[in-house]
Structure 1
């Protein structure tokens, strides 16, 4: 998608709109991660390194197909996945104590 802006204000406004959508999508992803914790038996199941690599390969391909930088997308996803794993581990531990 080739978006042409006419001013820095236009650029910032469009970025703000994208950020609004990204945060809403992160909230949805977080809700699904919380649900996933209920299906996992161990903390190793939560960490799931093979699944992480599967997701990374998938999003790198999506990045290539959409004109995004695969390296940037990978870095963002690795940070996001690490944060979600931390949250899921806390939830999983709490569920295990119940």
Structure 2
């Protein structure tokens, strides 16, 4: 594996694409790790309504917006990404909880 290049070290579009691909691979690995915890949470929760916690969601969104600003990222885009991720996780958790309750 080649060493990562800083953005200013990239001289060609292929250099930039290679770094984006490297980062995408790392992001996917982190999403997979995160998904394991979401799965565990779904195993712990007992009611499908527990998957949606508005206060918790808004707290997470606010935290991510602040973090995005601190990283000089667009906070609206960060919010969109996290709301999408949270929505997927809610639906996933509900599915696991409902399926488990049906099989009991």
**Within the alignment, does 1:79 sit opposite 2:81 as a pair?**
no
Match for residue 15 of structure 1 among 14, 20, 33:
20
Q: Distance in 2 between matches of 1:94 and 1:66?
A: 40
1:24-82 Cα offsets, whole Å, 9 max, x none, are 11111111011111222322210112111111011111111111111111011111111
Segments of 4+ in structure 1 off by > 6 A?
A: none
Partner SS state of residue 14, structure 2: helix
Equivalent residue, structure 2, for 1:44: 49
Which segments of 5 or more consecutive residues in structure 2 lack a partner in the other structure?
1-5
Alignment check: 8 A CA contact 2:64 2:78 kept: yes
TM-score (norm 2): 0.85
Query: Which has the higher Rg, Structure 1 or Structure 2?
Result: 2
Which segments of 5 or more consecutive residues in structure 1 lack a partner in the other structure?
none
Aligned-residue CA RMSD (Å): 1.3
Q: Distance in 2 between matches of 1:67 and 1:19?
A: 19
